Amino acid sequence: MPKTANPPPSAALAPASPQSDAGVLVRPAVEEDDAWVDYLQALAFGPGRFAKAAFRVRERFPIDRSLSLIAEIEGARVSSVWMTPISVSGIDGYLLGPLATDPAYRNRGAGKKLVREVTRMALERGQGQFVLLVGDAPYYGPLGFVPTRLGAIVFPAPVDPARVLVHCSDPALAHRLGGPIAAFGARDEGSGADWTDSTDKSSG
Ligand SMILES: CC(C)(COP(=O)(O)OP(=O)(O)OC[C@H]1O[C@@H](n2cnc3c(N)ncnc32)[C@H](O)[C@@H]1OP(=O)(O)O)[C@@H](O)C(=O)NCCC(=O)NCCS
């Protein structure tokens, strides 16, 4: 394994935990889920969600609907995740989120199972090399997400740079990624650069 100093290497995807997510079924989202996902995201993130950095990215670059997943428990929809194809530094990858679980079904393993599944599915395609997100390290760290270089990746709205985390198969990549978020497939590092860096707190 190549040597890296800081941030630490991306761990392999943590194995599923049959005990903690027993009974959680993951399936692709379909059109009939759209209204429920809207409702869930509103419930989880509130009316201010559209101003958040990750939401602003998704306004500009469409989500990949084939990487939209739903978790169910006992036949009820409980959790949802989306992925947006992006590139940074001319390297293709994905922005994960929003991830949300119905408050009535939290702490039953649905959120982490969706993160594991959607990350595995995206990277197994072999077209993107990383999965980026804005979120809490204590939640995503055990799933193999590590910090990026502080402030290196430029979002379209303020983010807390300590919450910009990435999962990549090449551990050195977490250090190398920098610059504005651009379209998947963009090879010009400046092609997404009509927004500027800042360091306030935001997520989603
Ligand atoms: C974060 C969220 C998606 C977790 O969903 P979930 O289905 O309850 O997640 P899981 O059941 O897989 O994991 C729950 C575990 O993570 C922990 N956890 C939850 N949120 C956490 C956080 N922000 N930081 C650290 N740990 C967290 C829980 O305490 C629980 O720990 P335990 O397994 O030791 O009991 C859900 O709380 C949610 O929808 N929150 C509001 C929206 C949000 O913040 N989304 C993430 C944005 S990046």
3-state SS of the chain is: CCCCCCCCCCCCCCCCCCCCCCCEEEEECCHHHHHHHHHHHHHHHCHHHHHCHHHHHHHHCCCCHHHCEEEEECCEEEEEEEEEEEEECCEEEEEEEEEEECHHHCCCCHHHHHHHHHHHHHHHCCCCCEEEEECCHHHHHHHCCEECCCCCEECCCCCCHHHEEEEECCCCHHHHCCEECEECCCCCCCCCCCCCCCCCCCCC
How does pLDDT run across 42-51, given as a tens digit for each residue?
999 998 888 8
Q: Whose CA is nearest to atom 25 of ligand 1?
A: 139
Q: Where are the domains of the chain?
A: 24-183
Q: Could you give the CA distance from residue 55 to residue 84 in angstroms, rounded to a whole number?
A: 10
Give the nearest ligand 1 atom to 134 CA. Answer: 48
How does pLDDT run across 21-76, given as a tens digit for each residue?
889 999 999 999 999 999 999 999 998 888 888 899 999 999 999 999 999 999 99
User: Which residue type, as a one-letter code, is found at position 16?
Assistant: A
Average pLDDT, the chain: 87
Expressed in angstroms and rounded, the spacing between residue 106 Cα and the centre of ligand 1 is 7
- CATH fold, domain 24-183, is Aminopeptidase (3.40.630)
Q: Ligand 1 pocket by C-beta < 6 Å: which residues?
A: 44, 79, 97, 99-101, 106-112, 135-136, 138-139, 203-204
Q: Whose CA is nearest to atom 5 of ligand 1?
A: 111
CA atoms within 13 A on the CB side of 42: 7
Expressed in angstroms and rounded, the spacing between residue 107 Cα and the centre of ligand 1 is 7
Q: Is pTM, for the whole model, over 0.85?
A: yes
Residue 62 burial (10 A CB sphere; 0-12, 13-18, 19+)? exposed
Residue 195 pLDDT > 60, yes or no?
no
CB 162 within 8 A of CB 152: no
